[in-house]
């Protein structure tokens, strides 16, 4: 049983989309799946946020300042950033690509780490609740 729990937590650290179906495959209780995937997702947020900040500071010591080229077409993350700011990047980014990637993009945009952690943690909470409910009720239909 402990291996099933640790697997769900470990998968959720990197990708919640894999952790929740694994929890259902292990025949865990939906509340347990939600709890363990939330715990793993929050671990992923904190590791990505604070290790990302340390890595950014370390890389900046070796990096020379270069003139940045402006892209002709802004990417998806830049569009979210320009339209919704840190809230959109934390919530929408976490719902679409995951919390560690959203944290990395936020670090790249020089967003304060505490704000990104708060909004990505809220996004992880919503994402775990939504996808656990979808999985539970979807299995009830079968």
pLDDT tens-digit map of 34-83: 999 999 999 999 988 888 778 777 877 877 766 555 556 667 667 777 78
pTM of the model: 0.82
Q: Is the pLDDT of residue 120 over 80?
A: yes
Mean pLDDT across the chain, nearest whole number? 86
In this prediction, residue 39 carries a pLDDT of: 96
| DSSP tag of 97 | T
Q: Is the pLDDT of residue 100 over 80?
A: yes
Q: What is the dihedral of CA 85, 41, 14, 36, to 10 degrees?
A: -160
In this prediction, residue 85 carries a pLDDT of: 84
Give the whole-angstrom CA distance, residue 21 versus residue 56: 33
Give exposure, 2-28, as e/b (b: 16+ Cβ within 10 Å). eebbebbbbbbbbbbeebbebbbeeeb
pLDDT tens-digit map of 19-39: 999 999 999 999 999 999 999
Is the Cα torsion angle 119, 120, 121, 123 positive or negative in sign?
positive
């Amino acid at each position: 049983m402990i291996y099933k729990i640790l697997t769900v937590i470990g998968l959720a650290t990197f990708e919640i989309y894999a952790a929740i179906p694994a929890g259902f495959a292990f025949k865990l209780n939906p509340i347990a799946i939600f709890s363990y995937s939330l715990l793993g997702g929050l671990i992923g947020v904190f590791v990505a946020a604070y290790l990302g900040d340390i890595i950014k500071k370390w890389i900046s010591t070796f990096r020379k300042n270069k003139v940045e080229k402006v892209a002709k077409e802004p990417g998806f993350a830049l569009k979210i950033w320009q339209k919704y700011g840190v809230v959109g990047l934390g919530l929408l980014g976490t719902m679409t690509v995951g919390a560690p990637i959203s944290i990395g993009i936020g670090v790249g945009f020089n967003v304060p780490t505490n704000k990104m952690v708060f909004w990505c943690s809220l996004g992880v909470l919503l994402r775990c609740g939504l996808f656990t409910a979808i999985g539970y009720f979807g299995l009830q239909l079968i």
